[in-house]
Amino acid sequence: MSSENIHITKKLRNVFGFETFRQNQKEIVEAILAGQDVFAVMPTGGGKSLCYQLPALLLDGTCVVVSPLISLMKDQVDSARSLGIAADYINSSLAAHTRNDVLNRFKKGKLDLLYLAPERLAVKDFISLLEEVPLSFIAIDEAHCISEWGHDFRPDYLILSSLKKQLPSVPLAAFTATATQTVQNDIIKRLQLKNPLLVRASFNRPNLFYRVLPRNRVMKQIENCIMQHEGEAGIVYRLSRADVEKTALYLQERGIKALPYHAGLPSQRRFQNQEAFNRDTVQVIVATVAFGMGIDKSNIRFVIHGDLPKNMEGYYQETGRAGRDGEPAHCLLLYNRGDMMRLGNFIDQMEKQEEQTVAWKKLTQMGDFGEIATCRRKQLLSYFGEIYPEDNCGACDVCAQGVEKVEATTEAQMLMSAMYRTGQRFGASHIIDIVAGARTKRITELGHDKIKTHGVGSHHNKPYWRRLIDALLAADCLKATGSPYPILQLTPKGDDVLFGRSSFSFLQIIHTKEEQTKQQLPTDYNTELFAILKKVRLTLAQQEDVPPFVIFSDKSLHEMCRFFPTQPNAMLAIHGVGQAKLARYGEPFLIEITTFLENNPEYRQTGAPLPTTSQPETDTTAGQTVHESGKLAEQGLSLAEIAEKRDLKETTIAGHLEKFLAQGSNVNIDVLIGVEKRKLLEEKFSELGTDFLKPVVDALKGKVSYNEARVIRGYILGSKEARPCSDSPCPS
């Protein structure tokens, strides 16, 4: 392995806490490091942020990241900072003085990453600034927004078409989670990418379980699914704002912490509701498709579609919000063919015939996904031009439960006879009521309780008849015409069935009971410890004013609850735990895991062996690296000098020194930190305690850094008695 590859792998391990690259990540990183343009289609949760964050750390200059939603930027920056990456953002949410501070840091070359909204690039002075400040490269997130053929075209993104002309020497790296071949070609053309590395990763999300149920009593179905995911975060998508509000209220009335999100809400309320969801203070967000791209939450365990999405791209993006951490998640679509008519009304209002044709084709494909009982994963991947090679994916309702052929000629004739005898002037609900034997006011007023077919189908429930009507529509035996309340009519194929010239059967999934929803989502970690660690994570997140997933993902916590690490070196073997996060957040988790094992010693034997790191760090070597940093501090080197000498982040060095000082040492603390800061910190730690750094740092209002506070905490803890002493250092 070359020295460059060793350096890349070391950063991957120490900063991001990953042992190996995911598929395609390494070649993208290497291309960016070589100054090549890149176009990458990577599924949501595929690790695209690492593809630009890692080279941004390794290259001179700042990486500018263009991101479409300002609501996402803060979470991205918080997440990068938690890794020890110098990151910030500029958008309209910032006060003028804060924006100026960020710009000054950018001009001075102190940022690895700077996140921007696309419209910022329309400001002439800002483009001039980009021409002056050294840039490593420009990363364009959600690149499909630049294509009018994409599902989420945004005119603001057209500004990016001029980047190559304005900054010809700066490489561009464009990323998207969804792009057909047509959209891909359009993006490359619009951005004028020069001989780019083309990466088209698999669209398969093996951790997602796809399920479709006929929609019947939709509110109850949504409630049942959520109850099967007790304590887990999820999104419910509804088609209209009114349905969003009704669904959120319904869930609230049943004790489920849920909030609405749609474009009709005031912007401040939308932000508050999204933040509540991000920070795990509510379990469920009920939303229109206005919600989604602005969410970076990694621990969403389920996504429910209460209505049919407009197209497969939208469905893929929205279900892709689940399981971003790679852990199992569930995607439920409640399907009713009547949604085709609702959505079709919007399509028919489009001005251009070409747009109508494309939209209807996409909607029909989405309807087929809900209707046709073949592997959901095969259908989804096929839409993006990818062939799923297995016969059975094992992670969709069709494959997991199997299908059966249902002979339904007699039942189809019952429905059609009811339609025929009532003049083919009524919709599905009324026809179903007739064959089921209902005596609604409308049926009795029209005399439909007197016709021969009234009640002939009472041996089946209404969901069966709804499913049969959908199957007849899909088979072109029936057609639905008119809006907003479509009526059912027979087609020539339907006539053949009604008059006995043809038979009719359809495929249905075996055992489609809703209580089986989670059957493919096994738990192989200790759930009791997981609940404890979630509380630790939430407390730290509240102290740091960041979403909990920024501290550690669910996947990281699951591994902690599977392998029970009790030493720092063992914690470093956990997915997503690098040196910076270990130093900043590791201690309270190690304490809780140790306490749990003391109270439950049987798990010391049952825990699976820890994964090995690429460079295993034993307890001895962990102590040695702390000792090395401490010895350099004793020689009078500053935090920055020690970090540079050891090629480690200052955050990591601060963690080393905290441990070193807590054991007692000869470090001249006033040389290392300074007399004034030492006094301020000692006073605040005495007042607020040493459990958490954030209250102390916040109380000192920018006068000290987290690293300085961490070092002084170690100094205080290393004292056998309080150090009220003079300005000179006290003896250890």
CATH number 3.40.50.300 is the correct assignment for the domain at 208-401 = yes
Three-state DSSP state, 490 = strand
Q: What is the 3-state secondary structure (H, E, C) of 528-578?
A: HHHHHHHHHHHHHHHHHCCCHHHHCCHHHHHHHHHHCCCCHHHHCCCCCCC
pLDDT at residue 723, as a whole number: 39
Q: What percent of the chain has pLDDT over 70?
A: 90
Token pair in block for residue 731: 């003896």
pLDDT at 50 over 50: yes
Highest mean pLDDT among 209-218, 334-343, 643-652, 720-729: 209-218
In the chain, the percentage of residues whose pLDDT exceeds 90 is: 37
Provide the pLDDT for residue 329: 94
* pLDDT value for 556: 92
Give residue 5's pLDDT.
66
Radius of gyration over every alpha carbon of the chain, rounded to an integer in angstroms: 30
pLDDT of residue 537: 93
**Which whole number is the average pLDDT over 455-474?**
88
pLDDT of residue 138: 94
Position 254 scores a pLDDT of 94
Q: What pLDDT band is residue 628 in, cutting at 50, 70 and 90?
A: confident
Mean pLDDT of 386-409: 89
Q: How far lies 177's CA from each of 36, 45, 139, 517, 553, in Å?
A: 20, 9, 14, 27, 20
- Residue with the bigger pLDDT between 101 and 75: it is 101
pLDDT for residue 691: 67
As a whole number, the mean pLDDT across the chain is 85
pLDDT of residue 483: 63
Distance CA 376, CA 393 (A): 9
pLDDT at 513 over 60: no
Mean per-residue pLDDT, 11-29: 88
pLDDT at position 411 over 90: yes
Q: How confident is the model at residue 702 (pLDDT cuts 50, 70, 90)?
A: confident
The pLDDT value recorded for residue 294 is 55
Phi, psi of 465 (to 5 degrees): -65, -35
Mean pLDDT to the nearest integer, 8-32: 88
Q: How many CB atoms lie within 10 A of CB 606?
A: 9
When pLDDT is averaged across residues 586-609 and rounded to a whole number, the result is: 76
Q: Please, what sign has the CA dihedral across residues 655, 658, 662, 667?
A: positive
- Is residue 402 scored above 50 in pLDDT? yes
Which two three-digit tokens encode residue 661?
């000082």
Q: Give the torsion through C-alpha atoms of 641, 647, 650, 654, to 10 deg.
A: -90
Which run of H or E residues covers position 365? helix 353-371
CA angle 569, 575, 578 (to 5 degrees): 55
The amino acid present at 308, given as its one-letter code, is: L
Most confident listed range (371-375, 493-497, 708-712) = 493-497
What is the pLDDT at residue 32? Answer: 94
pLDDT at residue 37 greater than cutoff 90: yes
Query: Mean pLDDT across the stretch 254-259?
Result: 95
In the predicted structure, residue 517 carries a pLDDT above the cut 60: no
Q: How far apart are CA 315 and CA 140, in angstroms?
A: 22
pLDDT at residue 663 in the model: 79
The string of pLDDT tens digits covering residues 106-137 is 999 999 999 998 888 888 788 889 888 999 99
pLDDT at 435 over 80: yes
Nearest to 403 by CA among 376, 374, 430: 374
Return the higher-pLDDT residue of 680 and 508.
680
Report the pLDDT value the prediction gives residue 414, as an integer from 0 to 100. Answer: 95
- Domain segments of the chain as ranges: 3-200, 208-401, 404-509, 527-606, 619-717
What pLDDT is stored for residue 617 in this prediction?
A: 39
**What is the average per-residue pLDDT within 47-72?**
88
Residues with Cβ within 8 Å of residue 605, at least 6 apart in sequence:
none
CATH architecture designation of domain 527-606 = Orthogonal Bundle (1.10)
CATH of domain 404-509: 1.10.10.10
- 364-368: list long-range contacts, CB under 8 Å, 24+ apart: 364/340, 365/311, 365/312, 366/308, 366/309, 366/310, 366/311, 366/312, 366/315, 367/308, 367/337, 367/339, 367/340, 367/474, 368/474
Average pLDDT for residues 485-490, to the nearest whole number? 86
Residue range 344-366: mean pLDDT, rounded: 85
Domains 404-509 and 619-717 share a fold: yes
Beta-carbon contacts of residue 321 (< 8 Å; ≥ 6 apart): 44, 235, 292, 295, 297, 300, 303
Inform me whether the pLDDT recorded for 721 exceeds 70: no
Q: What is the pLDDT of residues 552-596, one digit of tens each?
A: 999 999 999 988 998 888 898 898 898 888 988 998 999 899 888
CA distance to 301, 331, 555, per residue, from 207 (Å):
10, 10, 12
Classify domain 3-200 at the CATH class level: alpha beta
Q: Is the dihedral of CA 346, 348, 353, 359 positive or negative?
A: positive
Q: Which residue has the higher pLDDT, 667 or 721?
A: 667
168-to-115, 161, 404 alpha-carbon distances in Å: 20, 12, 60
Half-sphere exposure at residue 699, Cβ-oriented, CA atoms within 13 angstroms: 18
The predicted structure's pLDDT at residue 422: 93
Residue 178 clears pLDDT 80, i.e. is over it = no
Residue 125 near residue 88 (C-beta atoms within 8 A): no
Structure confidence at residue 360 as a pLDDT band (50, 70, 90): confident
Confidence tier at 523 by pLDDT (50, 70, 90): low
Tell me which of 50-54, 66-70, 153-157, 163-167 is least confident: 153-157
pLDDT at position 542 over 80: yes
Q: Report the alpha-carbon angle 517-521-522, nearest 5.
A: 130
- Report the amino acid identity of residue 464: Y
C-alpha distances in Å from residue 385, one per residue of 201, 202, 203, 378: 12, 10, 10, 10
Residue 424, Ramachandran bin (φ over 0: left; ψ between -120 and 50: alpha; else beta): left
A 10 A CB-CB count for 516 gives 14
Q: What are the pLDDT digits (tens) for 317-336?
A: 899 889 988 889 999 999 98
- Residues 136 and 60 sit within 8 Å (Cβ to Cβ): yes
Distance CA 323, CA 208 (A): 7
> What superfamily does domain 619-717 belong to in CATH?
ATP-dependent DNA helicase RecQ (1.10.10.1390)
Return the top range by mean pLDDT from 61-65, 175-179, 613-617: 61-65
Read off the pLDDT of each residue in 362-376 and give the average, rounded to a whole number.
88
Q: Which residues pair with 402 in a beta bridge?
A: none
Provide the token pair at 232.
């887990």
Region of 196 please: left (phi>0), alpha (psi -120 to 50) or beta: beta
- Considering 109-118, 365-374, 640-649, 701-710, the range whose residues carry the highest mean pLDDT is 109-118
Distance (Å, whole) CA 700 – CA 698: 5
What separation in angstroms does the CA of 267 have from each of 263, 547, 572? 8, 20, 41
In the Cβ-directed half-sphere of 60, how many Cα atoms lie within 13 Å?
2
